[in-house]
């Protein structure tokens, strides 16, 4: 490769050649041509993420499902992703290629990019994420380096993309002259896609008031009993601990940091393995922290996705401070976002029935379980992050 500028297609082809097969992120105009190429009709379509940290979560789930992920983000998105990178990707050791555009490069850019541009390499250094700067002339070698480094370290690595390295998007010129064509949405033959499915409801979903009658631990025990060997991604805090104490399955991924990311990890796993079910045990605080992920689930429509939210209307794990879910019905948000079904339940028998229904029919499903604020004294997760990662990955993808 000797040209001074890489076309999006050339870079996409290099990524394919290096085995990358899961692409997500938030766009930046510096890589518009690459995203246009990835949006084409390809075996691994571009998954638009609502935030960069959500993309990092999706990449973790995809890797657990056997994929090799690449995450595209503007350098401003490094700030958004700091916690997901530190307490998810780096703590567990999840390989991913981060393609980070370098706005503010050389101190020349719009004011909002100058400081971030100046500190971008330092941010990556502080996170101890190995990084190199992409050039068109050395793109192939740099991708070889990135791919082998991320595999060897089991860690994210970054390629920084300064302005002018990837060709300007062809459609941008059209857009600026007022002649932008509407892009087609890449539906391809993706078997996970379900569009405009009618949302089913339960009798409880129609009620304005839902009075919790059982604790989160009791509700988790009922839900787990209805499951087979489906993988379950757990939100952080006591949801993890209680589930671990009830039934410490290898197919349980305990998210011990990165609050808010459970649904993103679960969605990444569901998309990576479209023919196998994926369950998320979420909390109201966790869900609300990454509310945009609901819209991704609704828009992508993975049939194999079951989202169960244990809603105690508080941040229970940190002492029971009030959460907005006391006033806001999360099942209704899910229904508006486009989940195929959105149930609201309170009793043990309703929980069991909702989980059975979700396992039997195509999703995506959302089950709101209103629970009391009672806390069960449970120990911390006894396994280290790498043990959680490896036994989970072996149980879902056999390697």
Ligand X SMILES: Cc1ncc(C[n+]2csc(CCOP(=O)(O)OP(=O)(O)O)c2C)c(N)n1
The residues binding ligand X (CB under 6 A) are 83, 216, 235-239, 259, 283-286, 312, 314-318, 323
**239 vs 388 by CB, closer to ligand X:** 239
Query: From the CB of 160, what's the least distance to ligand X, in Å?
Result: 26
Helix (H, G, I), strand (E, B) or coil at 262: helix
Q: Could you tell me the CA-to-CA distances from 243 to 197, 219, 231, 307, 344 in Å, in that order?
A: 31, 10, 13, 15, 21
Query: From the CB of 123, what's the least distance to ligand X, in Å?
Result: 18
Residue 253 Rama label (left phi>0; alpha psi -120 to 50; beta)? beta
**310 vs 392 by CB, closer to ligand X:** 310
Query: From the CB of 47, what's the least distance to ligand X, in Å?
Result: 23
**139 vs 239 by CB, closer to ligand X:** 239
**326 vs 356 by CB, closer to ligand X:** 326
Decide the pairing of beta strands 232-234 and 321-322.
unpaired
By Cβ distance, which residue is nearest to ligand X? 283
Residues 6+ apart with CB under 8 A from 224: 232, 243, 246, 247, 249
Query: From the CB of 110, what's the least distance to ligand X, in Å?
Result: 29
Query: From the CB of 162, what's the least distance to ligand X, in Å?
Result: 31
**237 vs 268 by CB, closer to ligand X:** 237
**23 vs 238 by CB, closer to ligand X:** 238
**218 vs 284 by CB, closer to ligand X:** 284
Is the Cα torsion angle 349, 355, 358, 360 positive or negative in sign? negative
- Cα separation, 258 vs 33, in Å, equals 31
Residues 6+ apart with CB under 8 A from 344: 202, 204, 205, 207, 210, 329, 331, 367, 368, 370
Query: From the CB of 310, what's the least distance to ligand X, in Å?
Result: 6
HSE, side-chain direction, 13 A CA sphere, residue 374: 13
Query: From the CB of 216, what's the least distance to ligand X, in Å?
Result: 6
**10 vs 311 by CB, closer to ligand X:** 311
**166 vs 259 by CB, closer to ligand X:** 259
The string over 6-45, giving b where at least 16 C-beta atoms fall within 10 Å of a residue's C-beta and e elsewhere, is bbbebbbebbeebebbbbbbbbbebbbbbbbbbbeeeebb
CB distance 102 to 162 below 8 Å: yes
Hey, which residues does 70 pair with through a beta bridge? Answer: 23, 97
CB distance 253 to 233 below 8 Å: yes
Beta-carbon neighbour count of residue 47 at 10 Å?
22
Query: From the CB of 114, what's the least distance to ligand X, in Å?
Result: 27
Treating both helix axes as pointing N-terminal to C-terminal, what angle do 262-272 and 292-300 enclose, rounded to 10 degrees? Answer: 20
**234 vs 389 by CB, closer to ligand X:** 234
Beta-carbon neighbour count of residue 90 at 10 Å?
19
Chain centre to alpha carbon of residue 218? 28
Query: From the CB of 231, what's the least distance to ligand X, in Å?
Result: 19
- Cα separation, 394 vs 244, in Å, equals 18
Structure tokens at 157: 């690595």
Query: From the CB of 343, what's the least distance to ligand X, in Å?
Result: 19
């Amino acid at each position: 490769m000797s040209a001074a500028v890489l076309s999006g297609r050339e870079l996409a082809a290099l990524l394919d050649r290096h085995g990358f097969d899961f692409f997500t992120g938030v766009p930046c105009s510096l890589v518009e041509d690459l995203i246009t190429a990835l949006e084409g009709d390809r075996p691994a379509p571009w998954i638009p993420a609502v935030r960069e940290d959500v993309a990092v979560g999706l990449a973790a789930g995809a890797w657990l499902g056997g994929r090799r992920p690449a995450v595209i983000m503007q350098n401003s998105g490094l700030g958004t992703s700091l916690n997901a990178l530190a307490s998810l990707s780096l703590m567990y050791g999840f390989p991913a290629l981060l393609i980070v555009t370098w706005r503010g490069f050389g101190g020349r850019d719009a004011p909002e990019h100058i400081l971030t541009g100046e500190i971008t390499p330092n941010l990556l250094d502080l996170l101890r994420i190995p990084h190199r700067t992409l050039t068109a002339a050395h793109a192939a070698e740099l991708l070889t380096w990135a791919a082998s480094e991320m595999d060897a370290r089991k860690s994210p690595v970054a390629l920084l993309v300064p302005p002018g390295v990837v060709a300007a998007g062809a459609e941008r010129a059209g857009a600026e002259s007022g002649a932008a064509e509407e892009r087609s949405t890449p539906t391809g033959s993706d078997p996970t896609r379900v569009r405009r499915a009618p949302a089913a409801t339960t009798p409880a979903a129609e009620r304005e008031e839902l009075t919790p009658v059982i604790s989160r631990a009791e509700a988790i025990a009922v839900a787990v009993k209805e499951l087979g060997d489906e993988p379950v991604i757990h939100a952080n805090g006591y949801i993890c601990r209680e589930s671990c104490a009830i039934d410490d399955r290898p197919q349980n991924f305990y998210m011990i940091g990165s609050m808010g990311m459970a649904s993103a990890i679960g969605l990444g796993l569901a998309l990576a393995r479209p023919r196998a079910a994926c369950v998320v045990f979420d909390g109201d605080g966790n869900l609300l922290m990454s509310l945009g992920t609901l819209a991704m689930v609704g828009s992508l429509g993975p049939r194999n996705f079951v989202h169960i939210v244990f809603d105690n209307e508080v941040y229970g794990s940190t002492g029971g401070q009030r959460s907005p879910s006391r006033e806001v019905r999360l099942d209704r948000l899910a229904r508006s976002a486009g989940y195929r079904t959105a149930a609201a339940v309170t009793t043990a028998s309703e929980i069991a029935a909702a989980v059975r229904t979700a396992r039997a029919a195509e999703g995506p499903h959302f089950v709101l379980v209103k629970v009391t604020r009672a806390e069960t004294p449970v120990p911390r997760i006894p396994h280290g992050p790498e043990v959680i990662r490896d036994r989970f990955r072996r149980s879902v993808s056999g390697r």
